[in-house]
Structure 1
Amino acid sequence: MLGLKRGVNVLVDYDPAWPAEFVAERERLTAALGTIAKGIEHYGSTSVVGMRAKPLLDILVGVLPLADWACCPEPLAALGYDYAENAGVAGHYIFGRGPEAGVRTHLVHVVEFQGESWRSNLAFRQALRGDAALRQAYVAIKEAAVAQAPVGRGKYTALKRDFIDTAKAALAGSPQAEDHP
């Protein structure tokens, strides 16, 4: 199951359908974006088997140069995405879609292909996939964040920020940072 009202923070148990949902969406994105997209990856908690997550499919789209993000709004709009101009993630151009107004199922984050954000987000995903203790600690942080901020994505994200930044800093330059499919 995918879908969450905008601004609401809820974690659900892992859904084994999420990887197939990503594959289908990657095909749609590849067809729409063509050579603009240098890479399309499933990331975030829905990309980690067994992890509780907000039921939103996070997708990383890499473009090069980053200025090519400006080529994305029109083809993404044709797929039902709208530009979330005030999403507040530095270096990310974020587009969301959902089946109805006020509900999101997919978030596309357009970033520089092979840039710092691309590499660090995929390294964090790989670390979560391979390290049960890290996964468990991250879920605990997320559950505490939901308890403190059941409404408001900004606050929820801010409550997780130190944990994520610390984990990414520890991963920087590690062999895991280069190990992603």
Structure 2
Amino acid sequence: MKQVHHLNPVYGLGLEQGENRLVDYNSSWPLAFSEEAARIQSALGTRALAIEHYGSTSVPGLRAKPIIDIQIGVAHIRDGLSFLEPMAGLGYDYAGDQGIPEHHIFGRGVARTHLAHVVVFGGEQWRRSLRFRDRLRSEPDVRAAYEALKLELATTTVSRGAYTAGKAAFVERISAGGWRWATQMELGL
């Protein structure tokens, strides 16, 4: 029998290692983020310059993997290494940069409920991820195209890595600002 660890039934969070599934948007996800951000801010203090909810769980109406993505802004990327002990105290494992330059990544739970990315506050990584989130929130056609891509990838890829790689070109195009033309072309408009 497969044992499930650390799933959060209140917020519908938790994704087992190796599992790749999308769920309907849960209107309690912003609250789940707020509660976790308060825990993180309390543990990290002023070293965390800002904490943002990003990724698909931050976009109302968008299907998502049931994992809250959190972005923590720091003055210098090396500051993220000082978070190892306090984040471990909150139940997070340190995952290194996972091949993403200028990131420190922390995951919570055996069945992941939260992923925290530490990046330079106001830096390129910070701005790009929030620009992508904000465009998904404000542009229904972009959100629909992204959801269609995510649904296709969730059914055709076997790993989270392949799923993420399959979204990369779309994410890059949207966050770089060429999204209006690109989306219209993709949608045949």
TM over 0.5: yes
Contact 2:97-2:103 at 8 Å conserved across structures: no
Superposed counterparts of 1:12-161, under 5 Å = 12-85=23-96, 87-98=98-109, 101=110, 103-149=111-157, 151-161=158-168
| 2 and 35 in structure 1: CA distance in 2 versus 1, 3 angstrom threshold | same
1:166 aligns with 2:173: yes
Matches of 1:139 and 1:75, distance apart in 2: 35
Alignment identity in percent?
Answer: 51
1:5 is matched with 16
Contact 2:80-2:118 at 8 Å conserved across structures: yes
Q: Give SS of 2:177's match.
A: helix
Deviation digits for residues 68-100 of structure 1 (CA, Å, limit 9, x no counterpart)? 1111111000000001126232221110012xx
Contact 1:46-1:58 at 8 Å conserved across structures: yes
Matches of 2:75 and 2:97, distance apart in 1: 22
Report the AA paired with residue 153 of structure 1: R
Matches of 1:38 and 1:86, distance apart in 2: 20
Matches of 1:171 and 1:33, distance apart in 2: 36
Deviation digits for residues 108-142 of structure 1 (CA, Å, limit 9, x no counterpart)? 00001100000010011110000000000000111
| CA-CA distance at 1:144 after TM superposition | 1.2
TM-score by length of 1: 0.89
In angstroms, what is the RMSD of aligned CA positions? 1.3
Gaps of 5+ in 2: 1-11, 180-189
Contact 2:62-2:147 at 8 Å conserved across structures: yes
Hey, which bits of structure 1, 4+ residues long, moved more than 3 A?
Answer: none
Deviation digits for residues 26-78 of structure 1 (CA, Å, limit 9, x no counterpart)? 10000000011001000000000111000000000000111111111110000
| 65-74 or 43-52, which deviates more | 65-74
Contact 1:7-1:153 at 8 Å conserved across structures: yes
| 18 and 144 in structure 1: CA distance in 2 versus 1, 3 angstrom threshold | same
Larger Rg: 2
2:185 is matched with none
